[in-house]
Structure 1
């Protein structure tokens, strides 16, 4: 039986949470003080601790207690509760290693889901330590076929970040849990989702991918849940939504943070009830699917900012997979380059030359804001401009990767005395700084810079910033 400790100076909350979790089969203890909780933790091991941030103990608040719990029992998952949310405190606590930071009051459903997820996370983490981290040497590259029929490749890599990603996929794939995939733009989140699907028991059923960032508020409901003929202007025939298309398989919702709040509400109901109601009908259709979602922004931050429903987040986030940026896995560049060379040779129908050491050095020092997608595009350009079997040199590199540009604070060439060029350089640097700050989420970057998304795209194109 899994054990949970509740720590809150309000006995009513302790009693309520104990009642909720006990009904779910957990062994639950509680304490109304941090000092008392520490004594209990020394005598007994708990799988999870729900801890209030503002305790009445003079020297022990939720932050101090969570640190002490980590020292006493690293395998215990900690959830910090608060009635006064603060983003800075949330970030600090997450960095300290807590599992989650949640805002009171909590619903019974939320409490149960949190308990299930934190215990699952701790169980998988302990298993992860016992699994060999090195992927099979004979299969460093796994060939995948995307839902659109395009050939793509998933490169496991040999860096520590890549090995950790491989272990996470290997652990979660065989289960039926919902997964949240986090990572910057271009890191290959859809490939990870597809790999999870191909290693699951649903691998022989459909894998359906939907880009939520491209869905308008009006079309999202129809695309996801379908519609009947005549349901709205332009609905000249009935449409099956993505949930029904993915029946028995996996539905991948990319950039889920871009869904409007009302669509999030409908999505929550569908996930809870496992039935869809196409637009224009009252008929409910049962669906059996696994849901995998992805985002290039921190969904916990979106919840705290009120842009994403907390109950939907808790329902979806049964396990989180973090996809590392290319900057975190530069050791894998030779593998990626080799894989993309093979891919481009297939596309061009000819043999291509090798990348020179000078080009590799440039690759290693470049920031890769567009990550693996940008690298793939650069490789296509290099081999398109080079002749058959001729070595690829720095002369073939695009302007932003030229060594002289990388050594400067900006990649934009021009006369330093030219006021127009100085302004252009400042704009380039500002856009890159903001993009890095928001983990290359273009919608959030546009909002922070007080411009619309279309204007940002135009500037990215003008300044030759590849994302």
Structure 2
């Protein structure tokens, strides 16, 4: 049976173009220009998917979602919204929307999101049931990983690579600054892998005392050294069949590196004090915020171990490289903070959102999460304001005219930063950059920035 899509948009020309484009791709398409008309259409027949604009003449996309939930209409909803309204899009996803797409709409991206929404099993509509991410991994739940995927180019590229390498048995080296979520990436790799039903064991290499490293990794038998009062399984044996995650692998001593290399090569370990070896089957994921190639050059890290753990490298971008995702992450952390602090903060006001987006976040996602938690605690009204944010955030916010395009190497980044700081307002972004609107439009076209 042909899949039916309802387009809800008051821009008649755009809706007609979209209807024609989707019809040519095998969909049966109907349109409605108001929420009231959409209700009538949905009540009169079944639809596979609803594609709704955020702003409509009578009500908004949120009202339509709430009505659909109340009527028990389970068709997935994709919300169309501008960058400046991303906060409302996040609210829609909390109410049950499957995804959102930014205007002006990229046809290929929209078609991909429609296919994803239609291919995924439908869920019971419930306004209280939050949607945490755009595409869940198999054999997992939001409660297990508790995350939301970013929508920007850097985030999408990261998750594409994760999905590409996860089903393999390749060793993965996750490289990224502190606070970017390297362990989260490692857990995702495990959840997407064929080993998902087996253990995931994480070891903080920087917290292991030199004298106990062999015991931590390979275990020991009772009486093998002072304090060994019982037999103990090491990380390799505990992770057998699953994934072993070595966090901050660059902190391992040279001696431990030798032992680790042998275990990885032989796929066998010998517990401390034991007279027999144990076969192990583990998939290794390691993480570091150091330059291991520089460590090799300085003689503090073994080149052969580096090549053993680095069959595939995943670089986790810093938060300032994912600036367009900051509002999404901030709202996700706000949802967590509301639950933990038993508060009902609706969101961030425009000035607070600009400050969050303009900050460089040296502590990355960890710093953003702590910032949102603190601001949620301090917020007295419905929305977080600039006054609720920590001083380190508001002081970093770019002042008008402080951005510059004098350095061609950073021109694209500065344009993106200005747009983010201006909430998508091109006139304001041009003022921040000290250029006229026409020059900005030429630059946007040059760099392919929507």
Alpha-carbon spacing, 1:178–1:378, altered in 2? closer, same or farther (3 Å): same
Match in the other structure for 2:262: 269
Alpha-carbon spacing, 1:173–1:348, altered in 2? closer, same or farther (3 Å): same
- 1:205 CA drift (Å): 0.5
Match in the other structure for 1:302: 295
Deviations along 1:322-368, whole A, 9 cap, x unmatched? 11000100000121012111222222233223111111111122121
1:256 aligns with 2:249: yes
Runs of at least 5 residues in structure 2 that lack an aligned partner in the other structure: 1-108, 118-130, 400-450
- 1:132 CA drift (Å): 11
- Secondary structure, aligned partner of 1:329: helix
Counterpart pick for 2:314 among 321, 327, 332: 321
Maintained 8 Å contact 1:141/1:153: no
Match in the other structure for 1:434: none
- Secondary structure, aligned partner of 1:154: coil
- 1:178 CA drift (Å): 0.6
Match in the other structure for 1:419: none
Maintained 8 Å contact 1:133/1:163: no
CA distance in 2, matches of 1:280, 1:133: 60
Match in the other structure for 1:391: 383
Alpha-carbon spacing, 1:223–1:132, altered in 2? closer, same or farther (3 Å): farther
- Secondary structure, aligned partner of 2:347: coil
The TM-score normalised by the length of structure 1 is 0.55
CA distance in 2, matches of 1:299, 1:333: 29
Maintained 8 Å contact 2:175/2:289: yes
Deviations along 1:135-186, whole A, 9 cap, x unmatched? 7578635789xx9x98653332111111110111011001011100000000
1:224 aligns with 2:194: no
Correspondence 1:107-118 to 2 at 5 A: none
Maintained 8 Å contact 2:358/2:397: no
1:164 aligns with 2:157: yes
- Secondary structure, aligned partner of 2:383: coil
1:190 aligns with 2:190: no
Runs of at least 5 residues in structure 1 that lack an aligned partner in the other structure: 1-130, 408-467
Deviations along 1:244-285, whole A, 9 cap, x unmatched? 111110010000000000000000000000111111123211
Alpha-carbon spacing, 1:290–1:279, altered in 2? closer, same or farther (3 Å): same
Match in the other structure for 2:271: 278
- 1:207 CA drift (Å): 0.6
- Secondary structure, aligned partner of 1:208: strand
- Secondary structure, aligned partner of 1:231: coil
Match in the other structure for 1:366: 359
CA distance in 2, matches of 1:404, 1:231: 55
Alpha-carbon spacing, 1:197–1:134, altered in 2? closer, same or farther (3 Å): farther
Correspondence 1:14-33 to 2 at 5 A: none
The TM-score normalised by the length of structure 2 is 0.57
Match in the other structure for 1:19: none
Counterpart pick for 2:348 among 352, 355, 359: 355
CA distance in 2, matches of 1:315, 1:204: 25
Match in the other structure for 2:61: none
Correspondence 1:113-262 to 2 at 5 A: 136=116, 140=133, 152-262=145-255
Maintained 8 Å contact 1:134/1:163: no
CA distance in 2, matches of 1:365, 1:323: 20
CA distance in 2, matches of 1:273, 1:223: 18
Poorly superposed stretches of 4+, deviation over 4 Å: 131-139, 141-144, 149-152, 404-407
Deviations along 1:177-201, whole A, 9 cap, x unmatched? 1100000000001011100110110
CA distance in 1, matches of 2:212, 2:346: 46
Alpha-carbon spacing, 1:268–1:132, altered in 2? closer, same or farther (3 Å): farther
Maintained 8 Å contact 2:360/2:396: no
1:334 aligns with 2:327: yes
CA distance in 2, matches of 1:322, 1:134: 25
